[in-house]
Structure 1
Amino acid sequence: MRNLSQKINSEVARLYTERRNRAHQVRDERQAGLYRRHPELKALDEKLTAAGFAKLKAALETPGRQAEVSDHFRRLEEERSMLLTSLGLADNYLEPAYHCRACRDTGRLEGGWCPCRKQAVQSILPVYLPDPMDREATFSAFNLNLFEGEARAVMADYLQMAQIYTGHFDRIRDRNLFFTGTTGTGKTFLMQSIGHRLMDEGRSVVYVTAPNLFDIIMRYKRQQLSYRPDPELLEEAEMLYNAIYGWDLLLLDDLGTEMATQDTIAQLITLLDARQNRKLATIIASNQAHHKFSETKYDNRITSRLRGNFLIYPFMGSDLRLTSKEGR
């Protein structure tokens, strides 16, 4: 069974192959269209191809004719350049329009990976996270009619807030949000809608529930402390760990459902502080009110961070899951 890193690498390779094939297909279609409209261009390109072979053959078999053949090839090039100018085409009109011009959709540059590979991994990794996001969770699918009375008005404001949040993600000062409310009041759906919109705009977003978050951290720490860590398990754990610590937006759901210990409290404080110091955004959803965290599982250090570094959004209404079930 392949591990996570192997699956990711395979998906990334497939993505780059698809991009290259698409770029070449578009190039070929464009060339065919130009040849249909300008048959003289096709004829000249065919002459250039034949002259190129003749030039190579002369270099290998008849060196005495090399100057003559090269001169003929140069004149054809000049003729082609003049024709392209008259048609309003650049000399490199047959260059494929790669998604990434730097690496030509290979993912590699001389000396290492192309920066676009990180973006490719970021677009693929969420599928393999322990908590995949609901694809239906989008702003357009957010149904305010499911809410009644005051809850509907509040959720309309929250939906508008979320759209402004994503539309001005780079410029807003307060990017940490805390969604609190009882089960089934739309916290996860709105959180994931924000995530999907930012992912569509090229942002790196990781969604994870609290129990799985602490499991990821523990697996990474375990591999780090191991005398002989498994290279594949370490790479996998490091990939997930780096995502929750370093991606643009962390969506942490169901905080408070995990088994709280001194270790998990310390890990949560470290994570929140690290992301705050790096100016990375975090959105947390919990069924518990933020001011009750110190009364239940967490101490005042967590409550202080939530109050000081997060905008608090209380969600209202009854359980939408039960409401929709009763309506069926």
Structure 2
Amino acid sequence: MRSKNELYQAAMRAVALRRQTARALAEDRRAEAEAAIPALRHAEDEVRVRGIRCALAGAAGQDKAAAAAALAQARQNLADLLAASGRSPDALEPKYTCPLCQDTGVAEGRTCECVRREMRRMRREEIEALSSLKVASFDTLKADYYPNVRDPQIGRSVRAYMDDLLEDLRGYAEEFDLDSENLMLVGNAGLGKTHAALAIAGAALEKGFDVIYVSSPEFFGRLEALRFGQDPDNERELLFRTAAGADLLILDDLGTEFNSNFLISTLYSLLNERLGAHKPTIVTSNITDGSLLEKLYTEKVSSRLSAFSPRLFLGNDIRAIKSAE
């Protein structure tokens, strides 16, 4: 799990590599063309010389019409040579992936959108490596997977209820911003809680928000191991700060981790910081009983989670249904 700054640096390195590659390939094409067209190097030298003369005339305030005409002719001669060999006029120029910044990562004095796209791609790849599901959409989470039977708890069909719930979460994803509410997705295992959370993550990433996904047992287990082991690079603080500072944090499978005083203290600090900073958080959990939640994590943590808007998932294990198809 990389911090936003680490992700930015990695994206800039990736863009710089694209530029380096584009220029190296252009040099290869140039060497090949010069070998095939003996007059090519002289024609390119003419373009450079005429270009310098045109610029000097303009800087000196002289009439540069003649110099401009000579430059245009030199460029035409170069294009004719390339065309005669079956090459386009820009055949020797680098083919940059991003025409806006020419793979420098900066356009008009600001970070180019291509860098932001690369950051989103890297974060999506990172989330998919950490979760059991790919960052998906709600299109792959269908209400058909839920039983079309009446549930006495809600007084209606589970399928109709879940169809409404998924539409509600789809709307949350479409409208996501830093003012979005915190969500607590609860229900038995295999009902699509993680899938829905990752669908929201995908929508938030596309909007340019930085999303951090963590599996609760793995995240808190790692922090505890670093807390009571060696941590010369201060990785524990970096991991915590990255999770605490994300635009959207998805804390998956709360309740499956090893419970300890350290866990409770760290979870409380994490929730408290994010609530205080008004940063949206989505928690998924198999724990549907509020009293059990308080028993596991104490009243302090439970009170923080009570500020989350609950979404109860119902139905049968979708994974079992899919495996039987």
Q: TM-score normalised to the size of structure 2?
A: 0.66
Residues 146 and 242 of structure 1: CA distance in aligned 2, closer, same or farther (over 3 Å): same
Show the 5 A alignment for 1:8-157.
12-18=12-18, 49-52=48-51, 74-75=64-65, 98=98, 101=101, 105-107=103-105, 120-121=118-119, 123-125=121-123, 127-128=125-126, 131-132=130-131, 134-135=133-134, 137-149=136-148, 150-157=157-164
Task: Tell me the equivalent position of 2:232.
Answer: 230
Matched position secondary structure for 2:181: coil
CA distance in 2, matches of 1:216, 1:122: 25
Secondary structure (helix, strand or coil) at the match of 1:206 reads strand
Relative to the length of structure 1, the TM-score reads 0.66
Query: SS of the counterpart of 1:208?
Result: strand
Counting matched residue pairs gives 271
For 1:68 and 1:126, how far apart are their aligned partners in 2? Answer: 50
For residues 316 and 222 of structure 2, the distance between their equivalents in structure 1, rounded to whole angstroms, comes to 32
**Kept in 2: contact 1:179–1:315 (CA 8 A):** yes
Structure 2 residues not aligned, in runs of 5+:
26-43, 71-93, 149-156
Cα distance, 1:192 vs structure 2: 0.8
* Matching of residue 160 in structure 1 with residue 167 in structure 2: yes
Partner residue in 2 for 1:199? 205
Q: Is the 8 A contact 1:138 1:194 kept in 2?
A: yes
- Aligned counterparts of 2:236 and 2:99: Cα–Cα separation in 1: 30
The 3-state SS of whatever aligns with 1:251 is: strand
SS in 2 for 1:260: coil
User: Where do 1:170-189 residues align within 5 Å?
Assistant: 170=177, 175-189=181-195
Which structure: greater helix fraction? 1
C-alpha displacement of 1:258: 0.6
**SS of 1:244 mapped into structure 2:** helix
8 Å contact 2:173–2:199 — kept in the other structure? no
Residue 292 of structure 1: how far off its partner (Å): 3.0
Q: Which amino acid aligns with 1:14?
A: A
SS of alignment partner, residue 152 of structure 1: helix
- Cα RMSD, aligned residues only: 4.5
| Counterparts in 2 of 1:131 and 1:179: CA distance versus 1, 3 Å | same
Alpha-carbon separation, structure 2, partners of 1:98 and 1:115: 9
Secondary structure of 2:310's match? Answer: strand
DSSP 3-state at the match of 1:297: helix
Contact 1:205–1:249 (CA<8 Å) still a contact in 2?
yes
2:320 maps to 1:318: no
Q: Can you list the C-alpha shifts for 1:219-275, whole angstroms capped at 9, x where unaligned? A: 66568xx6xx534xx3x5555333211111111111000111111111111100101
In structure 2, relative to structure 1, the CA distance for the partners of 1:186 and 1:76 (3 Å cut) is: farther
Corresponding residue for residue 272 of structure 1: 271
Q: Secondary structure at the match of 1:207?
A: strand
| Unaligned ranges ≥5, structure 1 | 26-44, 57-65, 81-93
Corresponding position of 1:304: 303
Q: How does 1:205-244 map to 2 (within 5 A)?
A: 205-218=211-224, 221=227, 230-231=232-233, 234=234, 237=236, 239-244=238-243
Distance of 2:246 and 2:223 partners within structure 1:
15
d(CA) in 2 for partners of 1:237 and 1:98? 37
